[in-house]
Amino acid sequence: MDRGADFLLSGTTALKTEDLKDQMQLVTIGKTDLATALQTPKRLSNYCAQLEAGDILFFPQTPIDIPGDDLAFLLGHQQVGGAYHKNIAYRPLEDRITGFDAQDSTGAKRLRGIMRRYSDDVIGFLRGFLGPYGARWKVDYASYRPEEEQGRDLSLRKRNDLLHTDAFPTRPTNGDRILRFFNNINPQKTRSWITTETFDALVEKMRTGKLNGGRVPLPSSMTSSAAKRALASLGLGTLAPSLRRSPYDEFMMRFHNFLKENSEFQKTCPKQHWEFPPGSSWMVYTDMVSHAVLSGQFALEQTLIVSREVMVIPEKSPYGVLSRLAISQN
């Protein structure tokens, strides 16, 4: 396994990494590494820990087999209603796609079949690769991202090119983790990302007034003694079962918005720059790793919501971090 990412750092993009205390790593997993790891539970467990710590797992050759016909179809299709649907989404549990031309029923059927197969293949791969999690996850949406990301006309909170940690406005996780697996299927162009510090470091900076633009208050119910007890035994989601979003999800959503709306932070924060080449895959906990997509067109993605109960290093997770802060405030 090669933990060095230097070869992926752009020579032309300004890098300012000296301020990053806990710099995240790009963990490269070649074909041989992968074959060995799949036979070695300890290595798989290490990969889980690296993901949870905020590293990006990078597969120079994607482990997902996407047939040439499927690729040709995908590369020939655009989405519709881009202002409303940010991507073409596939909902595996309903076997349904959104963001595609409903008039084109033949195309829609074909696309649904392609997305179904992609989703099944990624999940099949992750069942083995993330074996230590024992498939304790919910299968969330898959997406196809056919738009060029550079210069997209999206509202500020929807913009992909501003650094943020992920939170879903309508799909609360109650402290479970957002894990995303990507494929760059563009035959020529890399997909270009920047990242800055991980969630734990950003929250600490915000809390101590070191991030510009004010603060997002910690969820109030996390700072009460009742919450303290509940956190220890039950979990955040059970604190307010009647609410659409748990206090955890409310905080994560507001933190996502806070980062995107904070222009000084966007401008001045230390950045790492990553280029994901055609034919590669990568995976990351996007609720932990603050990320932005600067450019790239034609990517596939599958999201899993992984149970926080199976984390290898639970104290590092956003839920663990917020719980600790809430308790220390009491």
* Residue 287 touches Fe ion, criterion: CB under 5 A: no
CB of 63 to Fe ion, least distance (A): 22
What 8-state DSSP symbol labels residue 21? T
The pair phi, psi for residue 192, each rounded to 5°, is -110, 125
Give the span between the Cα atoms of 278 and 276, in whole angstroms. 7
Alpha helices in 130-172 (DSSP H): none
Residues facing residue 142 across a β-bridge: 90, 302
- Residue (221 or 291) nearer to Fe ion, CB: 291
Tell me, residue by residue from 125 to 164, as one string, x for binding to Fe ion by CB under 5 A and - for no binding: ----------------------------------------
Residue from 55, 166, 200, 287 in contact with Fe ion (CB under 5 A): 166
CB of 291 to Fe ion, least distance (A): 6
Buried b (16+ CB within 10 A) or exposed e, 232-266: eeebbbebbeeeebbbbbbbbbebbbbbbebeebb
- Written as one string, the DSSP assignment of 46-63 is HHHHHHHHTPEEEESS-S
- Residue (167 or 326) nearer to Fe ion, CB: 167
When CB distances to Fe ion are compared, the closest residue is: 166
CB of 239 to Fe ion, least distance (A): 26
CB of 1 to Fe ion, least distance (A): 26
CB of 162 to Fe ion, least distance (A): 10
Task: Please choose, out of 165-173, 185-193, 194-202, 299-307, the segment that lies near Fe ion by the rule CB under 5 A.
Answer: 165-173
Alpha helices in 160-293 (DSSP H): 199-207, 225-233, 247-261, 263-268
Give, as ranges, the residues between 13 and 72 that touch Fe ion (CB under 5 A).
Answer: none
- Residue (135 or 201) nearer to Fe ion, CB: 201
Residues facing residue 289 across a β-bridge: 198
Give the span between the Cα atoms of 269 and 184, in whole angstroms. 27
Residues forming the site for Fe ion (CB under 5 A): 166
